[in-house]
Amino acid sequence: MPIGPSFDGVLAAAQTGAAWAWEVLYREFSGPVLGYLRTRGAADPENALGEVFLQVAKNIKTFSGDEAGFRSWVFMIAHHRLIDERRSRRRRSETFIADAAALDGATEPARAAEDDAVEDLTVEDIRRLLSTLSPDQQDVLTLRIIGGLTVPEIAHILGKRPGAVKALQRRGLDKLRKNLGKGVPF
């Protein structure tokens, strides 16, 4: 749910370091950004989310605009973090382990097994469906659906024209419909 008319006050307070304002911003934007990072295959989505918000904190004083512009700005930071991560992975040619706790023997708080199964199944299903699309189509659809961004905002983030974004969205959705109609397992 958007912050709404109080966004300007929340932004101004966050720019001065008010903890309550950061809580509001984090509560509003962290879920969609985390969903985007998970869906697009970030090696450690929670860590990447932290990096996104660190970057937001570093640069928030330079931001001016409305709530939609802020949403777009945050997702642009998230998108650039993913690009940086992919470049880094290619350079190092490492295989990332999804559960770092397995390396150091750390344990996470207990969660219901069915909660984990549903969460993992949903993310994995989405990844499988998206894997049938081109990388550009994946970017457009995840920013549009998970991020809730507009076509012009996505065009700005991806450095494409709005018409190209619309075409990528249309072709991506058509391909997903076709695959689901064929009963392609996901």
In whole angstroms, how far apart are CA 186 and each of 63, 75, 83, 124? 40, 26, 25, 8
C-alpha count within 13 angstroms, C-beta hemisphere, residue 113:
0
Regions of the chain with pLDDT less than 50: 94-121, 186
Nearest to 130 by CA among 94, 165, 160, 175: 175
Entry pTM: 0.70
Report the chain's terminal Cα–Cα distance, integer Å.
Answer: 29
Tokens found for residue 151: 């076509």
> What integer pLDDT is reported at residue 54 of this predicted model?
95
Nearest to 80 by CA among 30, 15, 143, 17: 143
| Four-CA torsion 143, 54, 84, 73, nearest 10 degrees | 30
Main-chain phi, psi angles of 89, to 5 degrees: -60, -45
Q: Round to whole Å and give the CA distance between 52 and 83.
A: 12
In whole angstroms, how far apart are CA 185 and each of 124, 146, 170, 180? 12, 22, 22, 8
Q: Round to whole Å and give the CA distance between 165 and 138.
A: 11
37 and 78 Cβ atoms separated by less than 8 Å: yes
Q: Walk me through the domains of the chain, giving residue ranges and CATH numbers.
A: 1-100 (1.10.1740.10), 114-186 (1.10.10.10)
81 and 52 Cβ atoms separated by less than 8 Å: yes
